[in-house]
């Protein structure tokens, strides 16, 4: 397990990461999400020992994580970086050697992964002859060629067609099942929602969300109700427990005020029902999407912040 305990990083008076705590267990895909400038990149750089934290500690299986552990990390950055005029095999061997693999150890692994991605015929071709999707696959191979215990994957599906994306997801799940620690960063909330076992959301350097999607939905999914009805629902917006209502035909989406429950809504609707003004066909609590929770918690930061730390 990778654990961060009170990790803090400051640049002068600016606090990029503020007393961050989280655990990333082996055998799970942990989503590290947040608006640009939330502190994700700084956090990753501290784990990789590119930056030193000012306070707190980073532990792997209970022991302090140091620069000597860098070879057990595989990092796929959002901004790809391959040597375009070099052959695919030479680039992969070079990057494997940087992580402690010998050429003799790396070559069989390179062949294995190139076959997995149906890229063997490109082994001796130059990087600049590859399509964007092919280059993305080669970048991913370079990330795992040294069998890392911890993987950071930043927007790994960028540039991939649906078939290749499914293939990559299958490999990510294989790595998860083999007991690796996978940290996955993306701005595509639908991907994080489907892929991650655990979600950690940062904003302004602080952790504002941590848990499974089931736990997160249970926490934030109790105040939006969908009602299917017949009759007159115009007075629902006047009920004391209701924050807002959106109507669509004979269905309306009701947002409850903080602290109000679906039981209180039903009690408030009872007079309308007993007077024959309204008949309910169904009433259900909606499960919020991760995107809607993200926007609710991060606000305009999600839409407006530019690239930062």
Which listed CATH number (1.10.287.3510, 3.40.225.10, 3.30.70.100, 3.30.2350.10) goes with 222-286? Answer: 3.30.70.100
Average pLDDT over residues 186-199: 89
Q: Which two tokens mark 271?
A: 């007079």
Q: Which pLDDT score, from 0 to 100, does residue 300 have? A: 56
Look at residue 155 and tell me whether its pLDDT is greater than 50: yes
Domain boundaries, the chain: 2-217, 222-286
Predicted local distance difference test score (pLDDT) of residue 306: 40
- Record: fold of 2-217: Rossmann fold (3.40.50)
d(CA 243, CA 257): 5
Range with the poorest average pLDDT among 131-135, 205-209, 290-294? 290-294
* Mean pLDDT value of segment 299-304: 53
* pTM given for the model: 0.77
CB atoms within 10 A of CB 3: 17
222-286 has the same fold as 2-217: no
pLDDT, tens digit, 9 for 90 and up, residues 218-259? 777 667 888 999 999 889 999 999 988 888 899 998 888 887
Per-residue pLDDT tens for 109-130? 999 999 999 999 999 999 999 9
Positions of E strands within 86-205: 150-154, 181-185, 198-203
The pLDDT of residue 305 is above 90: no
> How far is the CA of 187 from the CAs of 33, 40, 106, 191, in angstroms?
7, 12, 33, 9
pLDDT at 43 over 50: yes
On the CB side of 203, how many CA atoms lie within 13 Å of its CA? 17
Residue 108 has pLDDT above 60, yes or no: yes
Q: What is the mean pLDDT of residues 175-182?
A: 95
Strands laid side by side in the 242-248 sheet = 242-248, 251-256, 224-231, 278-285
């Amino acid at each position: 397990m990778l654990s961060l305990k009170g990790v803090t990083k400051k640049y002068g008076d600016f606090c990029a990461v503020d007393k961050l705590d989280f655990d990333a267990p082996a055998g799970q895909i942990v989503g590290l999400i947040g608006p640009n400038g939330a502190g994700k990149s700084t956090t990753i750089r501290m784990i990789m020992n590119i930056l030193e934290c000012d306070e707190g500690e980073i532990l792997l299986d209970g022991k302090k994580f140091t620069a000597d552990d860098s070879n057990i990390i595989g990092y796929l950055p959002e901004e790809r970086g391959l040597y375009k005029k070099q052959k695919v095999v030479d680039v992969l061997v070079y990057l494997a050697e940087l992580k402690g693999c010998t050429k003799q150890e790396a070559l069989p692994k390179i062949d294995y992964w190139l076959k997995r991605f149906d890229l063997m015929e490109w082994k001796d071709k130059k990087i600049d002859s590859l399509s964007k999707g092919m280059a993305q696959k080669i970048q991913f191979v370079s990330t795992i060629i040294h069998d890392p215990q911890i993987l950071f994957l930043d927007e790994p599906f960028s540039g991939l067609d649906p078939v290749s994306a499914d293939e990559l997801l299958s490999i990510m799940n294989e790595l998860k099942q083999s007991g690796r620690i996978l940290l996955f960063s993306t701005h595509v909330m639908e991907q994080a929602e489907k892929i991650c076992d655990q979600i950690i959301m940062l904003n302004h350097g602080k952790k504002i969300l941590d848990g499974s999607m089931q736990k997160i939905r249970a926490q934030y999914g109790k105040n939006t109700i969908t009602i299917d009805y017949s009759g007159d629902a115009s007075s629902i917006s006047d009920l004391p427990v209701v924050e807002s209502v959106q109507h669509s035909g004979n269905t309306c989406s009701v947002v409850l005020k903080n602290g109000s429950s679906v039981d209180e809504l039903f009690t408030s609707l009872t007079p309308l029902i007993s007077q024959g003004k309204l008949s309910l066909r169904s009433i259900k609590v909606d499960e919020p999407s991760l995107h809607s929770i993200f926007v609710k918690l991060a606000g305009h930061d999600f839409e407006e912040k530019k690239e930062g730390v």
